[in-house]
Structure 1
Amino acid sequence: MRIWQQLRERLESLTGQSRWKNSRLRRVIWGVFFFALLTLVLGNQTVPARLDVNVGDVAPRDVRAPRAVFNEILTRQRQEAAEQAVTPVYKREPAVLENAERYVKAIFTEIRRIRGQAAIDLGTRAQNLADRIRLAVLPEEVYEALLTADDAAIDLVEEQALALLRTALGEDVYERDVARVKVGIDSGAEPFILAVEDPNLAQFVRELVKSRIESNMVQDQEQTDWLRTRAAQEVPEVWWQPGQLIIEKGKTITEDQYQALVDLGLVGQKASYQGWAGAALMSLVAVAVMAVSISRWRPELLERDSKLMLLGLIGFITLFLSLAMNLFSVQLGEGASYLMPIALNAVLAAILLDPRVALLQSVLLAVLLGIFASSAQVGAVAVGVVGSAVGVYTVARVESRNDLYRSGLMVGVANAVTVLALNLLESAPLLDWQVWRDVALGAGNGLLVAILATGALPLFETLFGIVTPLKLLELSNPNHPLLKRLMVEAPGSYHHTILVANLCEAAAEAIGADPVLARVGAYYHDIGKIKRPAFFVENQFGGENPHDKLPPSLSAMIITSHVKEGVELAREAGLPQEIVDFIPEHHGTMLVSYFYHMASQNNPSEYVLEEDFRYEGPKPRSRETAICMLADGCEASVRAMRQKGHLSHDQIEQQVRRIINDRLQQGQLDNCDLTLKELDTIARVFVKVLSGVHHARIDYPGQQKPSEGADPAQAGAGQEGSTAAQTGAGQAGAAAGPAGAAEDTEDTTDGDLG
């Protein structure tokens, strides 16, 4: 505990307002600091460290895409592959058959010409015919048969050759079919049957037709190009997705990887000013929105450097944890963004600072992460906003650590429903396991928020001295060392604090102040009396009053010193500042009037300074400490009056309103924002509670009433024990001096004197 106290004191010294005399300058400095830090974080997400590499180099480290970037090279390669995969479109070319027919007819024209050269011997004509036809595979007998056959036979051969050619090229003949057709012509099978009986002439027809067989299917270039263009257009563009690994440490950098680094501005030494400028503008907008909103909603946060530091620390911790979820983007894809614990900021800031500020900061964080986080999408922004809103709502009244897990459960349910709704909007198939995986990640986000908040909350409470409902509940435990000491060493003061705490809680709840803070602060407002309990009448129990032997100035110093001693005890115990404030502020700068008047009467010739008999203050600066001041004075005064006899409801009300009016007239309530309407409400609540405590009782047989002429101080002392026994609340201290109870009907400015 001492270590945490030292850390907190060091933090307060670093953030103390005394270091910054100009509050406006201090706010500007904080704003610039948060702006610079946020720009640095967001800028590094947009513009990572640059590399000095080329194609073929070994990657010095892993680099992931900070944003989506078009992979032009890989897209072009896939488009080319799609074009090559398109089967060319063919069409039949009639000119192939026409050219073949013209060739055959020209051959037979030549045959008839040579046949007409009767003066030349047969051998010479056969050789001339072979030279003209150029079918080397034919023997000489074939040519001689062509020259010796009658004209009818030659006409039949020509007719058969043309018919066979039309049969062969009358169908679609691709390049791959040419050999098959030639084999069919050689075999004479259907449909390539010849009606030529002479085998030599039949052989000539087959060889002549075979020489003209070629593919009659040619590529339709226009249609093929159109199909290939369409196929290339149908290839989806390839993009490097946010968070995708572009280069891997130790592996060679390919051309498309290098181009991606160039497009992202990650190669070379030139800075990417546009990326940094965008990050700076977004940071400026976020900081400005937060500053304006805080100045309107909770301006007091701007006056406490520690509160500003805490708000910024919560925000940046949430930001770093959310960005860390990018490490799982490769395995989980978009689902990794559903793990970003944005609601952690909402839960912690709502408990420690202010719900509205917490929700606004969470919304801004969700938007920034949606823009800059590589794995985040629009869905992640929606999940972050919904989860944060639920988180702020569910921690509005946290009364135990278990309530944090309840809040985490509600955040998880809200996240899961939001993720499911987003998938339904995108018409995602509900049987897809990835849908339910993302739903489970959203629910797990709530559990993660609960675990992190439960662990971080005590640390922030202790380090920054923040009073949360959970911290107040811990401090209200009667086993707290200071409360145990007060109960044992100053039981009368302890009983007084219990009743004052009840008054404070009831009044605070009635006017909308913090009832838990008011009650717990009242528990510790008189702990300084532990040091010298016997000097306070509620702890004397009818015994000797030590003030009878002391001069008034020393008695006043002892009485007022319980404030300083109480503050010292509170700081040693590590109590939050909000609780410590109850100790000096519940007396404000009031006058210890009994000893002041006694000093004036004992030394009429000397001038007695009021400042020597006043508490050092400060005056109450919050509604809760002001309520404690009023409750302390009213409880002491009414109890002192009760010692003289039973009190009616009207008497109690008259005294309560006199005490409150007295404090108001003295200016003790000038520094708190209690209104007259609220003071009237407080008075009515006090009267109701005190009337229940000091109601009339039956006088039991054997009880003795003080005689009419008895000394008021002795009467008050004599009834101390019986009154405490009957009410169970103890004596709050009607008087510290011999006049005791008599003074409370005349002067009620002494909080401990009555």
Structure 2
Amino acid sequence: MYLILPGEPKFKYEYQKGFPWRHENLVAPYDFAILKTANELNNEKTEQINSLVPYFAHDTTQKAESIARLRQDLALDIDSTNTNKKKMFNSLSTKLDELYSNGILLFSVDIYQELKGKNEINKRTGNIVQKEDIDQLNSEKSAYNALLNTRQKLVSEGNNFPWLNDLDLERYITANLSYDNETSQKEIDEITQSISATRGMVKQGQRIVLEGEIVDAEKYQMLESLKASYEKERGKDVNRYMVSIGKVLLISVLISLIFIFLLLYRRDILQQLNKLSFMLMLMTGIILLSNFINTFPNLHIYMVPFAVFPIMIRTFFDSRTAIFTLIISTLLMGFYAPNNYEFILLEVSAGIIAVFSLNKMHRRVHLVLAALWVFLTYAVIFTALNLIHDGTFLSYDYSMLKWFAISSVLILLVYPLVYIFEKLFGFVSDVTLIEISDSNQPLLRKLAEQAPGTFQHSMQIANLAEEVILRIGGNPFLVRAGALYHDIGKIGRPNFFIENQAVGMNPHDRISHLKSAEVIIDHVKNGVKMAQKHKLPAVIIEFIATHHGTTKAKYFYLKHQEQNPDKTVDANAFDYPGPLPRSKEAAVVMLVDGIEAASRSMKEKTHENLKALIDSMIDKKIEDKQLDDSNLTFRDIDTIKATLLEKLINIYHIRIEYPDEKKEKKK
């Protein structure tokens, strides 16, 4: 960032057209020229170009060739004694000489854009240039008609010779004037370069603006001229080391604010190098692009899709981080951007709207609507500032809408950028989560075919966990994808899991309880290996690895104890490998997975029984410290209990018995 940002000294006064001057009285510290505005320069350039007489190259060989062609067609070299032919030749060649001398264009004058509003041309013959009235010029068509009229006049005068009527007059008409773009452009360049960029001088000590005085258009242009002169003149003798120290301090303070924010609210980003690198690289990239575009006089900094920056941060992190980093990067770039306050206000407003309007990105229409909202935000804020400054639409710069539109349309690049950054940094977006949650994905299709009971169980877990996350807050796309894949390790030996077993067929009856526990526990390890083989994202693999935490395969552990009462049982052999869930979404899947499986094995699925089951199982997880690494709160736990009870009652179609109904049963 230090190398990207300009190193020239900055004008110390801030001002806006139409607002009061909030500094002390300002007088000219030295003589300086008043610069013309862009509109003044454009108008003067247009006026000069319109007054320019275009150049046309004159080809003198065409006349000689056409007259020679006519002489050949009349065979005068063979029949030189034919006085009639000589007479006709002289009349026609005289007309041709007149037409070619005036000039013949390929098309009519009206067709040439270069001749719009012109009365004359510069006819260049070699190095000789002479003026020619446009009224004297002919097109090939009008020149042909003029020559045809000459022949008809000769015929009407008694010269009705067959050989005269047989002449193909088109053979003698060829354009000998062509637009000389090179010479005309050279003339335009000379005129443009000769236009003065200034209009008057301000003398040293002359008053520019008083404190509290409104900065009108004239004073604004004087201030802009002083600013340009100051930054140019001070750049010659300024202490570069002091400017560099200032840049370092500014960048350090603003970047430090980002690190403090991350330390307080998103420590996980600080702890993961790829996340931190991505954020800083993206910030540096958008500032580099803005500064690069700002160096081109024909481009405007507002064409840079600054709103893409917070959208990308929002996509991979969260809205709060996106808005905070947007403000910091806009402040950093705004210090060097033209119209600092306007730039910061426009970009921060558009960026915040982009984040709020794109809270969902799993449909293409969401991105299109976000681009539309960003454009409207730009337009409304810019219009508001224009009305505040000028109080009228007469000076409204409609060309700015073009740059706002370009910036907004470039937001559509977010989709390919998301894909690129996912591959480069190992991130997972909501779009990817939706794609891998498709039940036609190869791994889920395999689960449905080889372990149909487990697939249905996973679908149920996904629905329940998604509902819970929607109520306590979290990523519903992540929890759904994680729930669908959490049991894929059962594909290897599906018959060892009760949901896939046929009635009366249990392979555990043929092996020891220790071996059964080993098979059950291995579905976690196998699931992780299978997910890595199919290149599932790391955040999905976390669900597979943590959905049992470090709990025990309790059923087989107790059965093993019953069969071996006199032996010391190695309790660790019955433990799941873990680790504990680290995210809110993974913790929810752990809770829902156990409760849903236990509820299906209940004989009496009453309201009281389900409530007791949910309370006891969640309290047991808390007691066993299985949720210690997650960020679930006690309020979240209460919401989870209430949501699961409500949904399980709906699933099992349970109706609460009222007191009257109980009395009737007793009767």
Please give the range of the TM-score, normalised by the shorter of the 2 chains.
Answer: 0.5 to 0.7
The whole-number CA distance in structure 1 between the counterparts of 2:461 and 2:558 is: 27
Match of 2:235 among 257, 264, 267: 264
Q: Give CA-to-partner distance per residue, 1:136-175, whole Å, 9 cap, x none.
A: xxxxxxxxxxxxxxxxxxxxxxxxxxxxxxxxxxxxxxxx
Name the SS of the counterpart of 2:276 in structure 1. Answer: helix
Specify whether residues 73 and 241 from structure 1 end up closer, same or farther in structure 2 by C-alpha distance, changes over 3 A only.
closer
The whole-number CA distance in structure 2 between the counterparts of 1:71 and 1:478 is: 74
Give how far 1:463 is off: 3.0
**Corresponding residue number in structure 2 for 1:661:** 619
Specify whether residues 356 and 582 from structure 1 end up closer, same or farther in structure 2 by C-alpha distance, changes over 3 A only.
same
The whole-number CA distance in structure 2 between the counterparts of 1:658 and 1:346 is: 43
**Corresponding residue number in structure 2 for 1:316:** 284
The whole-number CA distance in structure 1 between the counterparts of 2:558 and 2:331 is: 67
The whole-number CA distance in structure 2 between the counterparts of 1:463 and 1:230 is: 58
Determine if contact 1:475/1:520 at 8 Å carries over to the other structure: yes
Correspondences of 1:295-306 after superposition (within 5 Å): 295-306=263-274
**Corresponding residue number in structure 2 for 1:275:** 243
Q: Does 1:436 align with 2:377?
A: no
**Corresponding residue number in structure 2 for 1:367:** 331
The whole-number CA distance in structure 2 between the counterparts of 1:612 and 1:634 is: 24
| Superposition TM-score, scaled by structure 2 size | 0.63
| Superposition TM-score, scaled by structure 1 size | 0.56
Give how far 1:276 is off: 1.2
Name the SS of the counterpart of 1:264 in structure 2. Answer: helix
Match of 1:648 among 606, 609, 612: 606
Q: Give CA-to-partner distance per residue, 1:24-47, whole Å, 9 cap, x none.
A: xxxxxxxxxxxxxx2232256779
**Corresponding residue number in structure 2 for 1:463:** 424
**Corresponding residue number in structure 2 for 1:384:** 347
**Corresponding residue number in structure 1 for 2:379:** 416
Match of 2:359 among 378, 391, 396: 396
Q: Does 1:447 align with 2:405?
A: no
Which structure is larger by alpha-carbon Rg, 1 or 2?
A: 1
Q: Give CA-to-partner distance per residue, 1:66-114, whole Å, 9 cap, x none.
A: xxxx998984999xxxxxxxxxxxxxxxxxxxxxxxxxxxxxxxxxxxx
Q: Give CA-to-partner distance per residue, 1:331-354, whole Å, 9 cap, x none.
A: 25xxx1222322111111112112
**Corresponding residue number in structure 2 for 1:342:** 306
Q: What letter matches 2:611 in structure 1?
A: E
Determine if contact 1:46/1:275 at 8 Å carries over to the other structure: yes
Specify whether residues 391 and 600 from structure 1 end up closer, same or farther in structure 2 by C-alpha distance, changes over 3 A only.
same
Name the SS of the counterpart of 1:426 in structure 2. Answer: helix
Give how far 1:609 is off: 0.9
Q: Does 1:575 align with 2:533?
A: no
Q: What letter matches 1:676 in structure 2?
A: F
Q: What letter matches 1:667 in structure 2?
A: K
The whole-number CA distance in structure 2 between the counterparts of 1:398 and 1:533 is: 36
Specify whether residues 657 and 429 from structure 1 end up closer, same or farther in structure 2 by C-alpha distance, changes over 3 A only.
closer
Name the SS of the counterpart of 1:40 in structure 2. Answer: coil
Specify whether residues 566 and 271 from structure 1 end up closer, same or farther in structure 2 by C-alpha distance, changes over 3 A only.
farther
Correspondences of 1:469-508 after superposition (within 5 Å): 469-508=430-469
The whole-number CA distance in structure 1 between the counterparts of 2:201 and 2:403 is: 44
The whole-number CA distance in structure 1 between the counterparts of 2:335 and 2:641 is: 55
Determine if contact 1:391/1:407 at 8 Å carries over to the other structure: yes
Specify whether residues 237 and 677 from structure 1 end up closer, same or farther in structure 2 by C-alpha distance, changes over 3 A only.
closer
Name the SS of the counterpart of 1:587 in structure 2. Answer: coil
The whole-number CA distance in structure 2 between the counterparts of 1:607 and 1:345 is: 61
Give how far 1:548 is off: 2.2
Q: Give CA-to-partner distance per residue, 1:493-527, whole Å, 9 cap, x none.
A: 00001111111112222222333322221111111
Specify whether residues 376 and 696 from structure 1 end up closer, same or farther in structure 2 by C-alpha distance, changes over 3 A only.
closer
**Corresponding residue number in structure 2 for 1:170:** none
The whole-number CA distance in structure 2 between the counterparts of 1:385 and 1:406 is: 18
Determine if contact 2:465/2:483 at 8 Å carries over to the other structure: yes
The whole-number CA distance in structure 1 between the counterparts of 2:519 and 2:236 is: 74
Give how far 1:683 is off: 1.6
Determine if contact 1:75/1:238 at 8 Å carries over to the other structure: no
Q: What letter matches 1:478 in structure 2?
A: S
Specify whether residues 385 and 696 from structure 1 end up closer, same or farther in structure 2 by C-alpha distance, changes over 3 A only.
closer
Match of 2:554 among 586, 593, 599: 593
The whole-number CA distance in structure 2 between the counterparts of 1:435 and 1:346 is: 27
Q: Give CA-to-partner distance per residue, 1:255-279, whole Å, 9 cap, x none.
A: x9xx99774249xxx9821221121
Q: Does 1:689 align with 2:647?
A: yes
Over aligned residue pairs, what C-alpha RMSD do you find?
Answer: 3.4
Give how far 1:387 is off: 0.8
The whole-number CA distance in structure 1 between the counterparts of 2:417 and 2:333 is: 22
Name the SS of the counterpart of 1:581 in structure 2. Answer: helix
Determine if contact 2:486/2:543 at 8 Å carries over to the other structure: yes
How many equivalent residue pairs?
463
Q: What's the % identity of the aligned pairs?
A: 31
The whole-number CA distance in structure 2 between the counterparts of 1:316 and 1:229 is: 40
Q: Give CA-to-partner distance per residue, 1:212-252, whole Å, 9 cap, x none.
A: xxxxxxxxxxxxxxx9998997998798899x9xxxxxxxx
Determine if contact 2:8/2:243 at 8 Å carries over to the other structure: no
**Corresponding residue number in structure 2 for 1:628:** 589
The whole-number CA distance in structure 1 between the counterparts of 2:571 and 2:282 is: 48
The whole-number CA distance in structure 1 between the counterparts of 2:481 and 2:201 is: 81
Give how far 1:682 is off: 1.3
Specify whether residues 540 and 230 from structure 1 end up closer, same or farther in structure 2 by C-alpha distance, changes over 3 A only.
closer
Q: Give CA-to-partner distance per residue, 1:694-749, whole Å, 9 cap, x none.
A: 2369xxxxxxxxxxxxxxxxxxxxxxxxxxxxxxxxxxxxxxxxxxxxxxxxxxxx
Give how far 1:327 is off: 4.3
Specify whether residues 620 and 379 from structure 1 end up closer, same or farther in structure 2 by C-alpha distance, changes over 3 A only.
same
**Corresponding residue number in structure 2 for 1:253:** none
Name the SS of the counterpart of 2:479 in structure 1. Answer: helix
Specify whether residues 371 and 241 from structure 1 end up closer, same or farther in structure 2 by C-alpha distance, changes over 3 A only.
farther
Match of 2:630 among 672, 693, 697: 672
The whole-number CA distance in structure 2 between the counterparts of 1:309 and 1:686 is: 40
Q: Does 1:307 align with 2:289?
A: no
Q: Give CA-to-partner distance per residue, 1:590-647, whole Å, 9 cap, x none.
A: 1112222333334444322111110011122222212111111111111111xx4x52
The whole-number CA distance in structure 2 between the counterparts of 1:405 and 1:346 is: 16
- Gaps in structure 1 of 5+ consecutive residues: 1-37, 48-69, 79-226, 245-255, 698-754
Specify whether residues 572 and 324 from structure 1 end up closer, same or farther in structure 2 by C-alpha distance, changes over 3 A only.
farther
Q: What letter matches 1:331 in structure 2?
A: N
Determine if contact 1:43/1:276 at 8 Å carries over to the other structure: no
Give how far 1:445 is off: 1.6
Q: Give CA-to-partner distance per residue, 1:373-401, whole Å, 9 cap, x none.
A: 4x564322221111111112112233323
The whole-number CA distance in structure 1 between the counterparts of 2:236 and 2:361 is: 49
Give how far 1:566 is off: 1.2
The whole-number CA distance in structure 1 between the counterparts of 2:588 and 2:232 is: 66
Match of 2:319 among 355, 361, 374: 355
The whole-number CA distance in structure 2 between the counterparts of 1:553 and 1:230 is: 98
- Gaps in structure 2 of 5+ consecutive residues: 11-27, 37-199, 209-217, 656-667
Q: What letter matches 2:247 in structure 1?
A: A
Name the SS of the counterpart of 1:342 in structure 2. Answer: coil
Determine if contact 1:526/1:583 at 8 Å carries over to the other structure: yes
